[in-house]
Amino acid sequence: MTFQELLFRLEQFWADYGCLILQPYDVEVGAGTMAPYTTLRALGPEPWYVAYVQPSRRPADGRYARNPMRLQHYYQYQVILKPSPDDVVDVYLESLRAIGIEPSEHDIRFVEDDWEAPTLGASGVGWEVWLNGTEITQFTYFQQVGGIECDPVCAEITYGPERLCMLLQKKNSVWELEWGRGITYADVDYLAELEHNYYNFEEADTEMLFRLFEMYEKESARIVEKGWVHPAFDLALKCSHIFNLLDARGSISVTERASYIQRIRTLARACCLKYLEKREAEGFPLLQKEWRVGLPATRR
């Protein structure tokens, strides 16, 4: 199964289930969770069933493309189900069938792994899902976002498509994966990965980054006051990415670290609070819509 086909099949499965298929969010994020499709929508009483690919950047995780599994830029397949359905684990296992993994033929384990994102003030409880010993999915029941209790609780299912594809294609390096049409992951992303590594670790102008952080931070705080939640949140995400870059450059001392994280959390929390306030003022519009989800008969 090619990388692109894996993603198609996940898209198709979750669309059949009743999820909206969204497109990747266009601001740099460290994980699919940070897209407003998850961070903001996890809050409040409105139902929300979506799935999307999210390109994710974690500058400090780069290994100059020399490690077969670690990249500073990779993809996540993110599913949000709110409220979490009672049969959510069964549905998830069904999705594995859709990508050619017959659960009964493999050892699938749910190994405790709670999740926390200090920059978002978010935390959840859940598992890593193991397939024959390899972590293929992060499964989380969100408990808090922006320091606000999630009610109802959503289930977040985050697949690692590269890892899954390596298993399916029996490849030992992400770079050897066939993306599609005989073209490999390396053909698509190798050069960018390498260049970003040099930039992130050696070249990024830290003076500029510090200035940008301040500017974005100030702007986010200003804008959220006016009620413009989404632009303010994008600016908070910018701060988060810049912080990650500075961290990769080794420019943030251990003592400063906590205060930067706190500053980003403050921005994110303000956005979360304002988002909830605005949705409430609008009467939580999605509560009026009927959003039916469930496995179609053909998938049962």
Quick check: 127 binds another protein (CB under 8 A)?
A: yes
Quick check: 20 binds another protein (CB under 8 A)?
A: no
Quick check: 67 binds another protein (CB under 8 A)?
A: yes
Q: Which is nearer to another protein, 156 or 219 (CB)?
A: 156
Contacting another protein within 136-165 (CB under 8 A): 141, 143, 150-153, 155
CB of 55 to another protein, least distance (A): 23
Of the candidate residues 26, 107, 202, 290, the single one contacting another protein (CB under 8 A): 107
CB of 99 to another protein, least distance (A): 15
Q: Which is nearer to another protein, 126 or 234 (CB)?
A: 126
Amino acid at 201: F
Quick check: 258 binds another protein (CB under 8 A)?
A: yes
With CB under 8 A as the rule, give the number of residues binding another protein: 45
Q: How many CB atoms lie within 10 A of CB 208?
A: 10
Of the candidate residues 18, 55, 68, 231, the single one contacting another protein (CB under 8 A): 68
Of the candidate residues 169, 228, 257, 286, the single one contacting another protein (CB under 8 A): 257
Parallel, antiparallel, or unpaired for β 48-57 and 20-21? parallel
User: Could you list the residues that contact another protein (CB under 8 A)?
Assistant: 63, 66-70, 83-86, 89, 103-112, 114, 124-125, 127, 131-134, 141, 143, 150-153, 155, 167, 170, 172, 250, 253-255, 257-258
